[in-house]
Structures are given as structure tokens and as C-alpha cells.
Chain A
């Protein structure tokens, strides 16, 4: 499309806003000129350049998070027309209008569409989602991984901690301490690692409590909404198996 052609088409957006954590929630509507292949981020940038509502009122620009713009970092996750997904890959052409934007509901709001997802990081720390290499001595090179395990781990390693699986999960709430599908999947990822498996029991221990694996209700929404198509329900079942075996071991072998 040539730049000098004036296009009458517009994009309507309805945005849920909040000035600071715990402050009043309000809605504003914006109308921006349509361009081909717009995504939600581009619309937000447009609003940032000219923060005027549909009614002509000049307001504070809407804030949001984004970084990679290619669905790899997960920071632009929000509710778009009621469903959780990444704003950078949400194309206006495939969305119903007005496009309704809301921050995720299961994480504390920082401002407008920005949320604080540090709970996910805390959960990763709780389950020691890493391969321990620091210590008093060099543990040397790890054992070789089979190609099967490698490819299995690759799929799990794609998690970008976006939080979609947690937002959509009926068992995950703002106030409880459910660890959620992403965390269980990371336990599996690191237990599958030959050196990482040295912390296997500690990881399983961390998911065998309140908020742990028993609190999953098997609604399997997590796997439906994961943008990285991570086999979360397989991870959950596998952690189910690992914890079951660990329980038997704790009862009969210790």
C-alpha cells in the first residue's frame, strides 16, 4: 500500500488501565489508523505517540512490556479479547474489534498492561531449576546425553516463562501458592539432565507439598494455551510418576 493513500479504516482498542499497583481500574477506548499486518504492539506504539482516547481526551500513554517482538521472551503476555497470549504475535487482521486488552489477572499489576511475574522466578528457585556446577571441587564433564533425551529436553527448554499456562490454569490464583505447569515442566527438564539429576530428590521434595503436583486438577488448559507447544501434561504426568516412586522409596527404602 502506498503511503500517500489515505485509508479510512481504523482499529478500535479497548484497554483496561491502572495507574499503579492496587489503584483504581478504569477502561479507555482508542481509535488508530489501520495499516496492513499490524500487531497489538504496533497499535500500542501508535497510542504511545498520540495518547488520545476515542473521545479526544488526552491521557497518559498506556504502558506495556515487550522485548523480542518474535514470541521468544514472553514479556508481552496479556489478555487479548479475553484470552492470554503474546501481544507481539497477535495480528489485528485476525482479531475481532474492538480489540480488548487487559493485563494478566493472576499476577500483580504494576501499571496498565504490565504485570510482575517474579513469582515464576521464585518458583524456579524453589525447585532448583538449574544444573548445579558450583561446589568445592570440579565435578568435571557431565555424562553424554542420548539423542532422545536431548530432543525431549530441547522441547521443554523452550519455555520462556511467559505465564500463559498459569494465567489459564483454574488451579492457579493470585493468592494461592500453586507452582503451576511451567514449574513442573522445568523440574522434568532438569531431572532429565544427567548432571542435573543429582538434585532430583530435592526438586521432587519441593513439588510434594502444598501448591505442588497434587494440586493440579488435570484441566489441561495449560497445554492448550502454551505458545511454545510444550508437552505440559506429559511433564505433569511424568512428575506424577517421579513423585509416586519417590513416595514409595521414602516409605520402603529409607
Chain B
């Protein structure tokens, strides 16, 4: 392949940013929320799903390659985008202009939340390794602790809402910037569909929080606790 110009690189980086937001980052979000909401139908489906995921072969490579790396890329380029524009929704007060502003803000909020979320779940899991303790009881224990207090509940609720907003509004933006939705009416109609989709995801996420808060699971972590 011939050498790329800076313009071509810029184009490819921004396109990749947009793509990684949907696949794999967005797809993972949907999967993650779906599996977690199994908690609302019972402890065992939830426990089993965690076990299955944590015993996948090459898990660390899947996590690093399909989640962490694309997520880091998406976030890094996201911050570049964040600082490349200047929001003006107070001067030009239109719904989409607010969405533009919220899209950027929610991205930053999700980023901050994820640092916290990963530091309290995946990092200890990787640190101690699967050999020393079982992931499912440990993770359930962590979540039990989180949702005991309003601090944890609020932090998670904010993280969840920011993520579902960012994803559903981002999906809409994706469809426009890749030229899938062109006509004005198509854009509006699809907007409602994505709003509904976001709402469903939000309900899924929040119901897990509510379930954990109301009914902590009687599981003790084996190690390190």
C-alpha cells in the first residue's frame, strides 16, 4: 500500500473512532447489560453467565483486543473530538445542538465512570488471577458492596444513563455520518427508534441496580474478598 497522507490518516482515525463506538464497544455494552439483567430473573442464570464468560478460552486476549483496546482508542479520539469543537447550545438553542453537547459530556462521564468500574472489578480480577479465586462470587460480592450505599447506586445510575445515552445517540449519529440515514424524515423517524432503544437499555441497566440494591446475593467471596 502506498504511504498515507496526514489527511487520509485523519479520515481513517475518525472513521475508526465512529466504527469502534458501534463494534465492538457498543455491541459489548448491549451484551454486558443483557447478561447483567439476568440478575433480575434469578441469581443462578447470572452466576452461570459470569462463569461462562470468565472461563472463555483466551479471555484475557478477548478482553484486551476486543474491549480494552477499542475502548481506549474510542476514548482517546473522543477527547480529541471533544476539544476540537466549542458547544454553543445556549446561543443556538435547538434540540440537536443540545444532543451534540450532551454527546460530548456523556462520553467524558462514561470515561470517568469506566475508570472507577474497571478499577473495582476487572483490575482485581486480573491482578489476583483466576487461579486464586472464583470470579463470579467475587464480582457478585463487589456489586453487593457497591449497592449497599446510595453513593454506589448513584454512581452506577449516572454511569449507566450516560452510557446508554452516548450509545443510542451515537448510533443515530453513526447512521448519519456513514450515510445510512439521509432524508430528514428518515433521520427523525430513526431518532425515535434509537431513543426507544436507549430507553430499553437504560431500563435494563437500572433494573439490575435496583435488584442488587433490594436483594443482595448471599455469596461470600472466596478470595481476596
Question: Which residues of A pack against B, CB within 8 Å?
Answer: 82-83, 168, 170-171, 173, 176, 208-210, 212-221, 224-225, 231, 233-234, 236-245, 247
Stretch at the interface among B136-144, B151-159, B177-185, B213-221: B177-185
Query: Who on chain B is nearest to A84 by CB?
Result: B92
The main secondary structure of chain B at its interface with chain A is helix
**B54: Cβ under 8 A from any A Cβ:** no
Q: Which residues of B contact A245 (CB under 8 A)?
A: 179
Once A and B bind, how many residue pairs between them come within 8 Å at the CB atom?
Answer: 106
Tell me whether A208 and B8 are in contact in the complex, defined as CB-CB below 8 angstroms, given that A224-B92, A238-B182, A240-B177 are known contacts: yes
Query: By CB atoms of chain A within 10 A, which of B87, B92, B178, B180 has the most?
Result: B92
Quick check: A224 and B11 within 8 Å, CB to CB? Answer: no
Tell me whether A209 and B88 are in contact in the complex, defined as CB-CB below 8 angstroms, given that A244-B178, A247-B15 are known contacts: no
Q: In whole Å, how far is B137's beta carbon from the nearest beta carbon of chain A?
A: 44
Quick check: B85 and A214 within 8 Å, CB to CB? Answer: no
Give the size range of B's interface with the partner: 35 or more
Tell me whether A83 and B92 are in contact in the complex, defined as CB-CB below 8 angstroms, given that A170-B86, A216-B177 are known contacts: yes
Question: Which residues of B pack against A, CB within 8 Å?
Answer: 5-8, 10-11, 14-15, 18, 81, 84-88, 91-92, 94, 96-97, 99-101, 103-104, 173, 176-184, 187
Query: By CB atoms of chain B within 10 A, which of A210, A239, A247 has the most?
Result: A210
Quick check: A209 and B92 within 8 Å, CB to CB? Answer: no
Q: In whole Å, how far is A238's beta carbon from the nearest beta carbon of chain B?
A: 5
Q: A221-B88, A241-B179 known; 11 other A-B pairs, CB under 8 Å?
A: A170-B101, A208-B7, A214-B177, A215-B84, A218-B96, A218-B176, A221-B94, A234-B183, A234-B184, A240-B176, A241-B178
Quick check: B8 and A221 within 8 Å, CB to CB? Answer: no
Tell me whether A219 and B96 are in contact in the complex, defined as CB-CB below 8 angstroms, given that A237-B176, A237-B182 are known contacts: yes
Q: Which residues of B contact A170 (CB under 8 A)?
A: 85-88, 97, 100-101
> 28 A-B pairs, CB-CB below 8 angstroms?
A82-B91, A168-B88, A168-B92, A171-B84, A209-B7, A210-B10, A212-B7, A212-B10, A214-B14, A214-B177, A217-B81, A217-B103, A218-B176, A219-B97, A220-B97, A221-B92, A221-B96, A221-B100, A224-B92, A224-B94, A234-B184, A237-B177, A239-B179, A240-B177, A241-B178, A241-B182, A243-B11, A247-B11
Q: Which residues of B contact A209 (CB under 8 A)?
A: 5-8, 10-11
Q: Which residues of A contact B85 (CB under 8 A)?
A: 170-171, 217
Q: Which residues of B contact A238 (CB under 8 A)?
A: 179, 182
A241 to B180, CA, bound (A): 7
A176 to B18, CA, bound (A): 21
Q: Which residues of B contact A217 (CB under 8 A)?
A: 81, 85, 100, 103-104
Q: Which residues of B contact A242 (CB under 8 A)?
A: 179
Q: Which residues of B contact A176 (CB under 8 A)?
A: 84
Q: In whole Å, how far is B34's beta carbon from the nearest beta carbon of chain A?
A: 27
For A220, give its contact among B8, B11, B94, B179 (CB under 8 Å): B94
Query: By CB atoms of chain A within 10 A, which of B15, B18, B85 has the most?
Result: B85
A236 to B10, CA, bound (A): 18
Quick check: B177 and A210 within 8 Å, CB to CB? Answer: no
Q: In whole Å, how far is A192's beta carbon from the nearest beta carbon of chain B?
A: 13
For A218, give its contact among B11, B177, B179 (CB under 8 Å): B177
A133 to B23, CA, bound (A): 44
Query: By CB atoms of chain B within 10 A, which of A212, A217, A221 has the most?
Result: A217
A213 to B179, CA, bound (A): 11
Q: Which residues of B contact A82 (CB under 8 A)?
A: 91
Query: Who on chain A is nearest to B182 by CB?
Result: A237
Query: Who on chain A is nearest to B86 by CB?
Result: A170
Query: By CB atoms of chain B within 10 A, which of A213, A214, A216 has the most?
Result: A214
Q: Which residues of B contact A218 (CB under 8 A)?
A: 96, 100, 173, 176-177
Q: Which residues of A contact B184 (CB under 8 A)?
A: 231, 233-234
Q: Which residues of A contact B103 (CB under 8 A)?
A: 217
A101 to B15, CA, bound (A): 40
Tell me whether A215 and B14 are in contact in the complex, defined as CB-CB below 8 angstroms, given that A208-B8, A210-B6, A233-B176 are known contacts: yes
Quick check: A240 and B178 within 8 Å, CB to CB? Answer: yes
A247 to B12, CA, bound (A): 9
Q: In whole Å, how far is A49's beta carbon from the nearest beta carbon of chain B?
A: 32
A137 to B191, CA, bound (A): 49
